[in-house]
Amino acid sequence: MAREFTSVGVVGLGTMGAGIVEVFARNGIDVVAVEISAAAVERGRATLTGSTDRAVAKGKLAEADRDALLSRVDFQVGLDALHSVDLVVEAVPEHLDLKQRIFAELDRVCKPEAILATNTSSLSVTEISVATTRPNQVIGIHFFNPAPVMKLVEVVRTVVTSADVVADVEALCERLGKVDVTINDRAGFIANALLFGYLNHAVSMFEARYATREDIDAAMKLGCGLPMGPLALMDLIGLDTAYEILDTMYRRGGRDRRHAPVPLIKQMVTAGLLGRKSGRGFYTYERPGSPKVVPDEHTPVATGAALADGARAIAKVGVVGSGTMATGIIEVFAKAGYEVISVTRGAEKSAKVCETVKTSLNKGVVRGKLSEADRDAALGRVTWSATLEHLADVDLVVEAVVEELSVKKALFASLDEICKPGVVLATTTSSLPVIDVAMATQRPADVVGLHFFNPAPIMPLVEIVQTIRTSTETTATARAVCAALGKTGVVCGDRSGFIVNALLFPYLNDAVKMLEASYSTADDIDHAMKLGCGYPMGPFELLDVVGLDVSLAIQRELYLELREPGFAPAPLLEHLVTAGYLGRKSGRGFRDHTNR
C-alpha cells in the first residue's frame, strides 16, 4: 500500500513554489509553506491568493472551495516549521550549493521517515541527495509551470532512491490528478533535455539575423502547431533561468554544443533583459510581469507598407507538378482569385490533377466552407496543360516537382528560356538549396523559395526563402502574394531546413537518441512533450506521421550542411528506415499501426 501523505511542506514561494502549494491544497492536503523572510512569505501568499482569485473569477473554482484551499495553507518563516510533515518539496532558485544547504538543513529538521523532494529542472538530484544522511529518501518531483494547470510531473529517481519512495510519489501524483513519468537522474530529464536544445538553436538563428523574432516564432506556431514561438517562450521562462538550465545541461550532459548557451543569452541576462519578468527580453512588454507585447524599435512596419515596397503585380500564376503539394497550391491560388495554369507531364496526369482539385473543392462545399458559386469560379480560373510553353506570359511560376536537384535545375533552365522577363520563379523545395536552382537560370535575382506546408489549402504558413542573389523586389512580391493568399509569409535565408525543419528535426532526432539510450519509453517521451510543453503531438507520433525515411533525409541534409555533431542522425532512426519501418505509411515505425 502506498503511503498516505496528510501534510507536506513547500520551500520557496516564487511562481513555481506557490503553484505547487496550490496543487496540494486543492487536493485536500495540508501544506506548510516556507520562505526565508516575512516579506517573502507575503509575496508568496499574494501569488497564491491572486491565482485562486483568478480561478474563481473564471468560474473554475467555487468561492467556498477557494476559502477551504487557503485554510489548508500554513505560511511560515524558516525550515524549522517542517518538523512534522510527511513530504517536503523544495522549489528555490536553480543553484546547486543553495539546494544542498537547504537539504542538509531539512535532513536535520524533518522526521526520519519524511521524503525530501526537489523540483529542480536541470540539476543533479543525486548531488542534492548526498547533502543528506538519507539519500535513499530523496527524489525529484519536477512540476511544470503553471503547476495548477500543467498535467505532467517528472518523477526523478537516483541510483539509491528507494523503490518504496518512488511508488509512494507516483501514487501521490495520481491523487493530485497529474500524469507522471518516472525517469533516472540525467541532465534536463525528458522535457527540458528536448526543449532547451531547440530553444537555444532558435536563439542562435535570431543572433545570426537569419530571420526576425516575429518570423521565427510565427513559423513554429503556424508550421508545427506549437502553443508559443521559441523566443516568446524564452521570455516567459526567463532568460536567466534558461541560461542556468542550458549551462547546467551542457556541463552535466556530455558537453553537447547544442546545449552550450548562445552568447546572446548571457549578454541579455547581463543587460537585465530577462523576459516578461523584467519587462523586456526578446520582446518588449507593457510592464514587468505583463504578458502584453508592445511595439519597440525592432517591431516590423505595418504589413501594407512593407508589401507596397517594390512588389510586382501578379495576376496569372503557373504551377508545375502533379503531386499532393502541386494540387494543393493550385487550389489555394484559384480560390484566391488568381488565373492559374497547371502544367504536368502528359494529359493523363493533368486529368488526374484536375479531378483531385475538384474533389477537394467539393469537400469544401459539403463542409460549408465554400459556396458552389465560389467553387465553380475557382475551377473556371484554372487552365490544364501538359506543356511548359503555356507559361510564357505568366507573372509567377511555382515549381512543385520531385525533390531531386537535377530535375529542378533542368526545369528552371527551361523556364528561364520560356518565361517573360520580370516573372518570379519560385521553388517549393523543403530541403534543397534554392541558390542551386536559381543559378540554373540567367535571372537568379528573380528566383525565390516558397515553401508551402502540407496540406497547402489548410496550413497557414509559407516560408519565403531568399538567396544571396534574390532581389528585394522578388522578396516583396513573394510577401505580397502570401498575404493575398491569406497565408503568413516568414522570410529566411537559404540554409538547410529553413526555419521550421531546421528547428523541428534536430529536436525529433534528440528524442530518438533518448529512446535509443533506453532513458525512457516512446510513450513517456510523447507524454512529456504533450503534457509538459503543450505540443500537439509527441515526437514519436510526429515521426510516424511524417515518415521515418523523410525525417532521416532531412536530418542528413542538416548534418551535411551544418556539420554539427549533435545533428548526426540517430543510428536507431537509420536502422528503422533500413528495416522498412517508415511509420504509418508502411504500417510500422516507432509504433505498430497495422491494427489501428
Dmax over Cα atoms in the chain, in whole Å? 85
3-class DSSP state for residue 162? coil
Of the candidates 496, 526, 510, which has an alpha carbon nearest to the alpha carbon of residue 570? 510
Lookup: cell for 291: 504578458
Residues with a known catalytic role: 121, 142, 154, 192
3-class DSSP state for residue 419? coil
Task: In the chain, count H helices and then E strands.
Answer: 23, 18
Q: Are strands 293-294 and 316-320 parallel, antiparallel or unpaired?
A: unpaired
Integer Cα distance of 74 and 45 in angstroms: 10
- Contact predicate 17/11, CB 8 Å: yes
Q: Cβ-count burial of 296 within 10 angstroms (0-12 exposed, 13-18 middle, 19+ buried)? A: exposed
Of the candidates 502, 487, 439, which has an alpha carbon nearest to the alpha carbon of residue 467? 439
Lookup: cell for 204: 542562435
Lookup: cell for 105: 538543513
Of the candidates 339, 327, 345, which has an alpha carbon nearest to the alpha carbon of residue 387? 345
Q: Cβ-count burial of 11 within 10 angstroms (0-12 exposed, 13-18 middle, 19+ buried)? A: buried
Lookup: cell for 519: 532513458
Residue 155's DSSP bridge partners are: 141, 182
